[in-house]
A and B are shown apart, each in its own frame.
Chain A
């Protein structure tokens, strides 16, 4: 077999494999859109559910997911960015720093249902928050932290070292340099990471199963100490535990969740490509 033949064969196989990997993505999104679109109308999106979820709308689930996502952001974003700044700008190469990095890698790998257990143990029971938005948000925030920290750190490190040197040589302190040059330049990359992290938080079910989610609530949550409906959990229950649930509504709910999540994806991608084009270095 000539080398050219081998190459052509292998490349064909690889291309086939890549296409086979990617095609289902399009099919999945398309299928859900096709079957879910008929269910989408004003009432579906903005009304409360009726008849044991079999009719009416999913408004509380949408609102619940929004609350949870925002709450997660409030906790995880400042904490994550600060930790990334520490790792990128202040931390020296020491055992402690290595321990921090291993801790972050670990947090990233912990299964989401174990986060649910942790949230149950600490926030719901020990701190007596009960099944609540607060418990859910804190659990989701710790789960989202590693994603935010690693992407933010990468964005900070990408800023050229020469900027820092120049700023310091002009009489800048370390924090002034970070605040005026490094952070602003890293911001698009940080933002992309934040949005991708929150996207995951919005779509997760297991962490909120025991910490925040309720299936049927007669009204919207009044305070952060109330439980809430949420889109992922809602989809799970109506597709596995409610007999006689119209298929249309199931696909409609899936479509709403998918749209929520994918539009965040789109925003993150747009921020990233715009920043790349407008970079001044």
Chain B
């Protein structure tokens, strides 16, 4: 019985293998082309000027701090809203809700996740901003806060879905054991289920925040686009400008190869690095947890 070589199968398996490797190829490509168009900015603009406090491209002020600050404060605000509400929803769906409620809530959260960012930005502009302006009695409703509200809405579906999976994955035996020892349902959730799902929940939060940082259209339409460094919590209710909105708003008007053009790509590199760090950190958490579990179980 000698081995028969089936050429068709070998070809198919090579294609499949190549497809698997392609993910690495694409990340490399993205990094390469961002660097290609963005690195010249370092040559054309003094690095300490890039860290300046004024973003005014018309007069060649390319300080990135207001933009980074804008992204950070909007994301922070979104996290402060999304984490409690998202976790509560996840716990509700996974542990508390009766079956009929689950069947309604899960699809609804998925619908939220499917809403295009431009639609949310559109409604934010026309409906939410005026409401914010009137209820908080501030000059304009186009603020970081409005952006945070909408971004929270976009981060929550990711958060809920991953966290709910993590909670679901906790073995039933853990809960049964706690209940058998006399714990109430809430005590079981708080002291047994949540800690057991800790790494998955952490991943959920990180992925949700990652989604918030990267949002473009929504923030572009509701945060007012004023490039000013946010100082203190009060600036949550002032207009800001995020890195993402800057790229989207100004790219259409720059000349190819101009300094402004290169700086916008440089902002893209900063965003790429931000998301790289957040995502690698999230996956390391998962790997760590898995290693710890393997050690415990061996």
Q: Can you list the 5 inter-chain pairs with the closest CB atoms, starting with the nearest?
A: A203-B116, A111-B214, A86-B20, A82-B19, A17-B88
Q: A22, B89: Cβ atoms under 8 Å?
A: yes
Q: Which residues of A contact B268 (CB under 8 A)?
A: 113-114, 117-118
- A-B pair count, CB < 8 Å, reads 257
Q: Which residue of A lies closest to B264 (CB)?
A: A117
The interface-forming segment of B53-61, B227-235, B271-279 is B271-279
Q: How far, in whole Å, are A99 and B251 apart by their CA atoms in the complex? A: 32
Interface string of A227-242 (1 = CB under 8 A from B): 0000011011001100
Q: If the complex has contacts A25-B112, A105-B282, A121-B34, are A210 and B252 also in contact, measured as CB distance less than 8 A?
A: yes
Q: How far, in whole Å, are A131 and B24 apart by their CA atoms in the complex? A: 26
With an 8 Å Cβ cutoff, the count of chain A residues facing the other chain is: 86
Q: B34, A236: Cβ atoms under 8 Å?
A: no
Interface string of A85-99 (1 = CB under 8 A from B): 111001100000001
Q: A173, B9: Cβ atoms under 8 Å?
A: yes
Which residue of A91, A175, A205 contacts B20 across the interface (Cβ within 8 Å)?
A91
Is B207 in contact with chain A by the CB < 8 A criterion? Answer: yes
Count chain B CB atoms within 10 A of each CB in A4, A21, A24, A86 and give the residue with the most: A21
Q: B122, A250: Cβ atoms under 8 Å?
A: yes
User: Per DSSP, are chain B's interface residues mostly helix, strand or loop, or mixed?
Assistant: helix
Count chain B CB atoms within 10 A of each CB in A24, A101, A113 and give the residue with the most: A113
Q: A269, B107: Cβ atoms under 8 Å?
A: yes
Q: How far, in whole Å, are A11 and B208 apart by their CA atoms in the complex? A: 24
Q: How far, in whole Å, are A139 and B211 apart by their CA atoms in the complex? A: 18
Q: Which residues of A contact B271 (CB under 8 A)?
A: 110-111, 113-114
Q: Which residues of B contact A101 (CB under 8 A)?
A: 283
Q: B110, A269: Cβ atoms under 8 Å?
A: yes
With an 8 Å Cβ cutoff, the count of chain B residues facing the other chain is: 85
Q: If the complex has contacts A101-B283, A117-B34, are A232 and B116 also in contact, measured as CB distance less than 8 A?
A: yes
Is B256 in contact with chain A by the CB < 8 A criterion? Answer: yes
The interface-forming segment of A42-50, A51-59, A257-265 is A257-265
- The smallest beta-carbon distance between B262 and chain A, in angstroms, is 11
Count chain B CB atoms within 10 A of each CB in A87, A114, A236, A257 and give the residue with the most: A114
Q: Which residues of A contact B184 (CB under 8 A)?
A: 3-4, 6-7
Interface string of A9-52 (1 = CB under 8 A from B): 01101110110111011101101100000000000000000000
Which residue of B16, B27, B111, B211 contacts A25 across the interface (Cβ within 8 Å)?
B111
Q: Which residues of A contact B211 (CB under 8 A)?
A: 109
Which residue of A20, A173, A210, A250 contacts B251 across the interface (Cβ within 8 Å)?
A210
Q: How far, in whole Å, are A258 and B248 apart by their CA atoms in the complex? A: 22
Q: B210, A258: Cβ atoms under 8 Å?
A: no
Interface string of B10-31 (1 = CB under 8 A from A): 0011011101111110110110
Q: How far, in whole Å, are A7 and B265 apart by their CA atoms in the complex? A: 52
